[in-house]
Amino acid sequence: MKKIIFLFFFGALIIGGYAQSSYWNLSGNANTTPFHFLGTTDNNPIIFKIGNIERMRLTPVKNTSFLGIGLTNPQAPLHLHYQPIPVAGLTLPIPEGSTDDRVSDIKLLQLSTSATGSGANNGFSISLIDKDIVFEQHERAKFFIEGPGGGLMISPDGNIGIGTDIPRQKLHIENGNLLISKALPNASASMNFEIANSINKWRVEYQNSVNGNGLNFVNITNPNSNSVLFLANDNKVGIGTTAPQTILHLHDPRNMSPTSMESSLPEDSTRNERSFRNLLRLTTRDTQSGGFVISSEWSHLYFQHREQGTFSIAGPGGGVSIAPNGYIGMGTDIPRQKLHVVDGNILISRTSRAPGSKNGSIAFGGDITNTHNGSWGIEYLNSNEEGYGLNFWKAYNPGENHFNYALFLRDDGNVGVGKKDPQAKLDVGGSFRAENANIDTVSTKILTAQRASIDTIFIEDLTAQDANITGTLTTKKLNAGDTISTKVLNAERANISKIVTTKELSTEWADIAGTMFNQDVVTVGPLVMTGSLYADLVQATCARISGTVCAKEVQVSLNPSCWPDFVFEKDYELLPLNEVEQFIAENKHLPNVPSAAEVEANGINLGEMNVILLQKVEELTLYIIEQEKQMKEMQKRLSEVEGKKGGE
């Protein structure tokens, strides 16, 4: 276009050639040569005037020239500037369609051909309307602005096509995309939608800020609406929020206070209606009562099926059905109770062992309120502190007693009553009462029975007239009025009035008034026997037997460090005989040997007494060895004296 204007201008200026005279003929000049020209030979501009007023100037600028029309300092190779300067006696033509106020509608450039005509409304023009520049195609033809790879086309109906010369809409892009970007921090990258004279206006914008990153659909006429629909960069969709936390996140940003909610509802609305805000509604042509609704009430969220039909949530293998009466079915769409499970199980589990984590449980109670948590509960425990098994517990309620392990079914099959670690099939951590019990294994604190026939028993306190235990009896306290018959007896304290028959007795303290028949080992702490004891082997820390003890062998276990081998060490200080003599004279017994009074009062320990006696024997041996040495020395000296006498 610049080339066309430039050639057009100079085609009008250069007329023929330069004549031999110093002026140009209006009818042309002959005999011109390449040395004839219109212009200057120095670096001054060429100026064109009308009415002695400058209208056009060709100015040299660096290695080129700027042509200015309407100004004296052009800023580009072609610079058009409208400046109405009146000239005396000259009337400027008024373009067709223009008003008398030429400043409001001035054509700066018009391009036309023989096909378009040369009228004011022909061809292509560039106009000035106040400060606005208008590029206008006056013909019913297409206007192209193109680069090497295509460009922009404006059709006669005003539709704009990019990539197409047949645009179907105001903007029609073919084989390409529309990009609205934001380069400056406070700039906007959006599209606005509105209808003239309508208060509703919408905007679609790309948001990239701390409030969210994604495509935001905003109702700009609502001051409380930051977002109606938001498509986040992480493929999440928010409705009412610019920070969706899930694939689809619904949020009601409106004020949920009772005052603001009630003011927008009819006066005849009920309190229940006024407190609900619908977030999502699903309906079909067959729904009559509102379909399916997700609504909120303050901080509560409700999923409501308002039709008289079954509401189902199902996967490929089944799901949950909620009947119109509120019953819930799993595996059935005809539930018979509040929760009805068909062909399946209910699993209540606990995956976290962190301190303070809650166990999954089932609670039972008649009156459940904000302060009453139910009366009883069943939960599964799985920790060393709590135990491993199913716990039946009394729930905590103000003013009521609460406790765990009313019944505890441990993972290994043992059952505890009042205990979290049952050691037998039935382990009772308290009293156990039975009129006649025939039990394989009993584990309890207290057992009181007239007659008990038990395989194995673990008990803290046993009182029985007649107990026949075929296995092991382990108890802290045993009171037997008649007979105890067992294979193994383990007790901290045993009081037996008549007969004990056992293969092995292990107790910390035993008081047996009658007779004890033992086939193997008796291991006790203090043992008090007022009757007879028949045993193959007796091991006791202290035994008091009023009668006679007959034994083939008595074995005493001692610490090796107390055995008196130390007497034969070189650094052992043997008491001189004169000091021994003096001690005997004063105490009437050997040093380190108990006196008669001490023996009468405390008795003797066979092991300790044997150590003392052996120590005295070893000391006596050292005295004899020393006496032997002295006697040999005296014999030697005596022989020497007798030899000297014989030589005289």
pLDDT one-digit tens code per residue, 455-505: 666 666 666 666 666 666 667 667 666 667 676 676 666 767 667 777 667
The pTM assigned to this predicted structure is 0.42
Q: What Cα–Cα distance (Å) separates residue 472 from each residue in 54, 196, 424, 441?
A: 132, 99, 12, 9
State the first-to-last Cα distance of the chain, in angstroms, to the nearest integer. 170
DSSP-assigned beta bridge partners for residue 491 = 475, 507
Output the DSSP codes for 326-365.
S-EEES-SS-SSSEEE-SS---------STTPPPPEEEE-
CA distance 326 to 229: 34
Asked whether the predicted pLDDT for residue 14 surpasses 50, the reply is no
The ranges assigned to domains in the chain are 2-137, 258-305, 426-555, 577-639
DSSP-assigned beta bridge partners for residue 467 = 452, 484
CA distance 161 to 170: 8
CA distance 377 to 362: 5
CA distance 223 to 216: 15
Q: What percent of the chain has pLDDT over 70?
A: 67
Is residue 180 very low, low, confident or very high in pLDDT (cuts 50, 70, 90)? Answer: confident
Segment 553-560 mean pLDDT:
71
Q: What is the residue whose two structure tokens read 């008796």?
A: 522
The burial class, CB within 10 Å (0-12 / 13-18 / 19+), for 426 is middle
Instruction: For the chain, give the longest Cα–Cα distance.
Output: 196
pLDDT one-digit tens code per residue, 564-602: 888 888 888 888 989 888 999 999 989 989 999 988 888
The burial class, CB within 10 Å (0-12 / 13-18 / 19+), for 590 is middle
Q: In degrees rounded to 5, what are phi and psi of residue 393?
A: -130, 155
Give me 490's structure tokens.
């383990």
CA distance 242 to 229: 8
Q: In degrees rounded to 5, what are phi and psi of residue 577?
A: -65, -35
pLDDT at 455: 61
Mean pLDDT score across all residues of the chain: 77
Q: What is the CA radius of gyration of the chain?
A: 60
